[in-house]
Amino acid sequence: MTIWDSAYECMSRDELEQLQLERLQATINRVQKNVTFYRKKFNDLGVIAEDMGSLDDLKKLPFTVKEDLRVNYPYGMFAVPLREVVRIHSVSGTTSKPIVVGYTKNDIRIWSNLVARLMTAAGVTHDDLVQIAFRYGLFTGAFGLHYGAETIGASVIPMSTGNTDKQIMIMQDYKTTALVSTPSYALALADRMAQLGIDPKSLTLKTGLFGGEPWSETMRREIENRLCLSATDNYVLSEVIGPGIAGECHCKNGMHIYEDAFIAEIINPQTGESLPPGRTGELVLTTLTKEAFPLVRYRTGDITSINDSPCECGRNLARMKKTLQRSDDMIIVKGVNVYPSQIEEALFAAAGGAAPYQIVVERKAALDTIEIVIEITDKIFSLELQKQRSFLEKVRQSISSVIGIKVTVRLVEAKSLPREDDRIIKVVDKRQL
């Protein structure tokens, strides 16, 4: 199996740690000089780049959290002037305002190479036809995989999401060999093929690269059996870069973290205490090469563990376990991050005040649905039927537009939603991953 960048991917741990330290010092220098948020934090602590005498010293620095990015909306965390930024993407924040991230030309070059690594590790070569069924636009997923595939020299089919019948037609006619999508969409494609009577063996699919949402080993087996391909996982986080942080090799035993570009730590999400390899906790990432949007000790909210033993594939990079759980209340619906606080804010605005609600997430025919169930209040009860309907429509539109995916809205009787300690259970996730 080919390794895209063996100089880095197979580097000895000693060499790697030396490189990480040099890059960490450069990053601390850069953010202290160019990002007011970090300058203030580090000055308050009296930290300078030279204090990073060993990688362990990173633990002296404070965490960066999503709230910091929200407060600095839109460009406050950028470390270069906008004229040096060649690309902007964004990702959901905890409120109606998204988080904005930027890339310099050099960031895009490095990003494309990192994605080329994970695609090569999954088995993609320049002979492949890669169908990208991630949504193009402000999301990082599609463009990240697109540039990575082009870097390898593969042929890219930038199909974007939806239009399942056309996706299948293209797979058949263009002879797609590699599929990029969320794992749940891969199953939706398999379902539709079964309905249309298409035998997946008649397709030319060979490799599947899936990410953007949690998925289990059972789901992997189902996708592999039903689409007749080899399915690999890769980890995406837009604030940090997008795809290209970590990806599985053919051993499918954890995602290799591109440690020359990121330092990964695991912490106890409650106490912030660092945990050793093998222990499960929240993943914290520090970027080592990014120019436009560097992050120091960014709390990802994703629960995983790190295995730093060598892998049979020859890569020396540590591996992170599949992430199936969050340390916060974020949910991922159709690959899109949704925070209950975004829904609450949109509902409050549309209802002109607080309304008791519950978010119900289900997976029907391999596709996620999200329903907002609202308890009727005196105010809603007093509306005529027509006005009640238009109220629900307003709520539906407002929430759908804030979170970026369609929701349905339903009214139920007052005090009928299930409660725990007198408080409504905000999120009921009925999906079985």
The answer to whether residue 123 forms part of the interface with ligand DLL (CB under 6 A) is no
| Contact region with ligand DLL (CB under 6 A), list: 24-32, 218-226, 331-339, 353-361 | 331-339
Of the residues 208, 212, 281, 294, which one makes contact with ligand DLL according to CB under 6 A: 212
In this structure, are strands 319-320 and 255-257 parallel, antiparallel, or unpaired?
Answer: antiparallel
The answer to whether residue 9 forms part of the interface with ligand DLL (CB under 6 A) is no
The answer to whether residue 139 forms part of the interface with ligand DLL (CB under 6 A) is yes
The answer to whether residue 132 forms part of the interface with ligand DLL (CB under 6 A) is no
Could you tell me if 263 and 298 are in contact, meaning their C-beta atoms sit under 8 angstroms apart?
no
Length of the chain (residues): 433
* Euclidean distance between CA atoms 267 and 304, whole angstroms: 10
**Cβ-proximal residues to 81 (8 Å cutoff; 6+ apart), any chain:** none
Could you tell me if 92 and 98 are in contact, meaning their C-beta atoms sit under 8 angstroms apart?
yes
* Euclidean distance between CA atoms 393 and 390, whole angstroms: 5
Of the residues 38, 42, 235, 293, which one makes contact with ligand DLL according to CB under 6 A: 235
Q: How far is the CB of 330 from ligand DLL (least distance, A)?
A: 7
The answer to whether residue 304 forms part of the interface with ligand DLL (CB under 6 A) is no
The answer to whether residue 140 forms part of the interface with ligand DLL (CB under 6 A) is yes
The answer to whether residue 293 forms part of the interface with ligand DLL (CB under 6 A) is no
Of the residues 21, 91, 157, 229, which one makes contact with ligand DLL according to CB under 6 A: 91
Would you call 46 exposed, middle or buried from its count of C-beta atoms within 10 A (0-12, 13-18, 19+)? exposed
* Euclidean distance between CA atoms 317 and 256, whole angstroms: 6
Of the residues 9, 213, 260, 345, which one makes contact with ligand DLL according to CB under 6 A: 213
| Contact region with ligand DLL (CB under 6 A), list: 3-11, 31-39, 139-147, 343-351 | 139-147
Report how many residues bind ligand DLL under the rule CB under 6 A: 23
Which DSSP state fits 431? -
* Euclidean distance between CA atoms 426 and 362, whole angstroms: 14
Find the residue with minimal CB distance to ligand DLL: 141
Q: In degrees, to the nearest 5, what angle opens at C-alpha 404 toward C-alphas 399 and 407?
A: 50
Coil vs helix vs strand at 251: coil
Q: Which residue, 179, 276, 187, 284, is CA-closest to 232?
A: 179
Structure tokens at 169: 């037609």
* Euclidean distance between CA atoms 88 and 82, whole angstroms: 10
Could you tell me if 111 and 237 are in contact, meaning their C-beta atoms sit under 8 angstroms apart?
no
The answer to whether residue 292 forms part of the interface with ligand DLL (CB under 6 A) is no
| Contact region with ligand DLL (CB under 6 A), list: 147-155, 205-213, 266-274, 375-383 | 205-213
Question: 213 or 357, CB closer to ligand DLL?
Answer: 213
Of the residues 237, 249, 284, 318, which one makes contact with ligand DLL according to CB under 6 A: 237
Question: 141 or 254, CB closer to ligand DLL?
Answer: 141
Of the residues 31, 101, 132, 236, which one makes contact with ligand DLL according to CB under 6 A: 236
Query: Dihedral of CA 116/117/120/126: which sign?
Result: positive
Q: Which residue, 297, 287, 299, is CA-closest to 30?
A: 287
The answer to whether residue 90 forms part of the interface with ligand DLL (CB under 6 A) is no
Of the residues 323, 342, 369, 398, which one makes contact with ligand DLL according to CB under 6 A: 323
| Contact region with ligand DLL (CB under 6 A), list: 37-45, 171-179, 300-308, 382-390 | 300-308
Of the residues 20, 25, 167, 182, which one makes contact with ligand DLL according to CB under 6 A: 182
Residues that bind ligand DLL (CB under 6 A): 91, 134, 139-141, 182, 211-214, 233-238, 300-302, 323, 332, 335, 337
